[in-house]
Amino acid sequence: MGDKLSALWRKVSWAWSPESERESSEAIVKNFWLHWFPAKVARASMDWNYSFWLGTASAALLLILTVTGVMLMFFYVPSTERAYGSIKDLQYAVSFGRLLRNQHRWAAEGMVAVVYIHMARVFLTGAYRGTRAINWLVGVALLLVTLLLSFTGYLLPWDQLAFWAITVGTSIAKQAPVLGPTIQFILLGGHEIGQQTLLRFYVLHVFFLPVFVLVLFAYHMWRIRKDGGLAVIERVRNDRVMAPKAASKTKSYSLFGITPGTSVQVMSSTGLEESDQVFSSPDLSRRMMLVFLVVFNITLLAALLFNAPLEGLANPSVTPNPAKAPWYFVWLQELVASTTVRLGDFTVSGALLGGILLPGFLLGVLTLWPWLDGSSFRTEGRWLAPERRRQNLTFAIATLAIIVLILVGVYLRGPYWRIYWPGQPRPEMPRLY
């Protein structure tokens, strides 16, 4: 009986723990869950210290968010009268509802952070050159959609944070040249925040934006294969060219790797030697599962230890004092609060300058960066290449500026958005509801 069971288990799981190189290769062809991997991947791209597996961690967070999000949909009612109550129910009346919501919230905030750090890794290793520029663009879009998902997500509880975030967010949209008022009207579904507004942001959050993320994510993964793997491979290849060796007779075990102009007999699809490569199963698949497990455990632990915030019920008559955005938007709040320019009678609102033009400029520079980068291709896939020092410094300074603005907004801003230094007494504000 036990033997039969273990034989059955082996039939199901052999692809994940192959016992020979032949099984490793077959696993990729025969197992649905492994079929999108190449038979072999570069050993260098398995390095924990090269990529920190941040892309995999983002994907793990996306999976956690999708599962917990669909679970939450069973309990959440997108109505201005019942939304807040349904969140309270999740907290106090639904078994493990609080845990579910906590995990969704912390995974969401984690995803914003991890996606950004992933982008920083790609930037600092110069991993966006040549055809990889397309994946950089997809990545920038994914960062943007991640932020939009976070924004539409924290609107749904219909608490004070939600209401005033919509107020400020759609007021910024209204400042857009020409189309601004129309955009605000279509976002709100009217001139004021109401039922239509909540429903629109709800459908965006649970359908349109996630579908958009999944399509971009799939394309992001597909592009990695078309680009021949992580950029670190270019480093290995460049180093090989520096030290030429006799042509080897390595061949790929899978025919999927063949691309035009490459013959199976001469070199493998990645142009790497056999000693540079490892089998996707188990070397890649096991590391991936490990990353998923670690990410899952971290979000679960965070959900057990910390409760997701929930403010008072949305009240159009009372603005919280101060009204602060979540940490990942506080730097934008600092920008809109401090970029109003006055030249005599001529005034440019910070809402336009700091809310639209400046972030738009940042986004534009980020989008075009692969084409602004003039450094040599030898820097590809290398951490902090000396030749790219100026570029890396620019990125680091921009990131540092954002972090400083976030710290100022989160820790120093008090009532009426004034600066209060640590130790300086803050006036007691009556809590109004």
Partner 1 sequence: MDRDRRKILRFIGKGSVVAAFLGQIGAAGRAFFPNVLYEPPSRFKLKRPADYPEGYTLDAAHRLFVIRQKDAFHVISAICTHLGCNVQWKDTEFDCPCHGSRFRPDGTVIGGPAPRPLEWFATTVSPDGFLDVDSATEVARDFRLIIGGKGKA
Q: How far is the CB of 417 from partner 1 (least distance, A)?
A: 3
**Residue 372, number of CB atoms within 10 A of its CB:** 8
Of the candidates 66, 238, 319, 394, which one interacts with partner 1 according to CB under 8 A?
319
Three-class SS state of 341? strand
Residues 173-212: x where in contact with partner 1 by CB under 8 A, - otherwise, as a string: ------------xx--xxxx-x-x----------------
Number of Cβ within a 10 Å radius of residue 244 = 7
CB of 26 to partner 1, least distance (A): 45
Interface stretch with partner 1, choices 208-216, 249-257, 312-320, 400-408 (CB under 8 A):
312-320
Residue 428 contacts partner 1 per CB under 8 A: no
- Give the interface size with partner 1 as a residue count (CB under 8 A): 38
Task: Quote the DSSP letter at residue 37.
Answer: S
Count of residues in the chain: 433
Tell me if 321 contacts partner 1 by CB under 8 A.
Answer: yes
DSSP bridge pairs for 282: none
Contact status: 94 vs partner 1 (CB under 8 A): no
Q: What is the four-CA torsion angle of 366, 368, 374, 380, rounded to 10 degrees?
A: 60
The single residue among 115, 119, 204, 336 that binds partner 1, judged by CB under 8 A, is 336
Backbone angles phi, psi at 342, to 5 degrees: -120, 120
Query: Which is closer to partner 1, CB of 116 or CB of 201?
Result: 201
Q: Please tell me whether the peptide bond between 322 and the residue prior to it is cis, using omega within 30 degrees of 0.
A: yes
* Count of beta carbons in the 10 Å neighbourhood of residue 285: 22
Give the one residue of 48, 74, 416, 421 binding partner 1; rule: CB under 8 A. 416
Applying CB under 8 A, which of residues 130, 181, 309, 316 lies at the interface with partner 1? 316
Among 46, 337, 358, 396, binds partner 1 (CB under 8 A): 337
One residue of 22, 226, 286, 418 binding partner 1 per CB under 8 A: 418
Nearest Cα to 61, choosing from 222, 299, 307?
Answer: 299
Query: x/- string (CB under 8 A) for partner 1, residues 340-359?
Result: x------xxxxx--xx----
Place of tokens 């320019």: 341
With a CB cutoff of 8 Å and minimum separation 6, the contacts of 421 are 412
Q: CA 429, CA 433: separation in Å to the nearest integer?
A: 12
CB of 2 to partner 1, least distance (A): 60
* Interface pattern 114-133 for partner 1 (x via CB under 8 A): --------------------
Would you call 15 helix, strand, or coil by DSSP? helix
Residue pair 232/47 in contact (Cβ under 8 Å)? The answer is: yes
Residue 279 dihedral angles phi and psi, to the nearest 5°? -75, 140
CB of 62 to partner 1, least distance (A): 28
Angle between helices 195-203 and 160-174 (to 10 degrees): 90
Token couple for 287: 């590391």
Of 144 and 337, which CB lies nearer to partner 1 in the complex structure?
A: 337
Nearest C-alpha neighbor of 220 from the set 146, 136, 292? 136
The answer to whether the beta carbons of residues 300 and 100 sit under 8 Å apart is no
Q: What distance lies between CA 123 and its chain's CA centroid?
A: 15
- Based on the shown chain and the rule CB under 8 A, indicate whether residue 47 belongs to the binding site for partner 1: no
Does 323 help bind partner 1 (rule: CB under 8 A)?
yes
Q: Residue 397 Cβ, how far from partner 1 at the closest point, in Å?
A: 24
Q: How far is the CB of 409 from partner 1 (least distance, A)?
A: 11
| CB neighbourhood size of 249 (10 A) | 9
DSSP 313: B
85 vs 189 by CB, closer to partner 1? 189
Among 141, 216, 318, 408, binds partner 1 (CB under 8 A): 318
Q: How far is the CB of 329 from partner 1 (least distance, A)?
A: 12
Q: How far is the CB of 160 from partner 1 (least distance, A)?
A: 11
Closer to partner 1 at the Cβ: 271 or 312?
A: 312
Q: Which residues does residue 342 pair with via DSSP β-bridges, in sequence order? A: 347
CB of 196 to partner 1, least distance (A): 7
Residues near partner 1 (CB under 8 A): 164, 167-168, 171-172, 185-186, 189-192, 194, 196, 316-323, 333, 336-340, 347-351, 354-355, 415-418
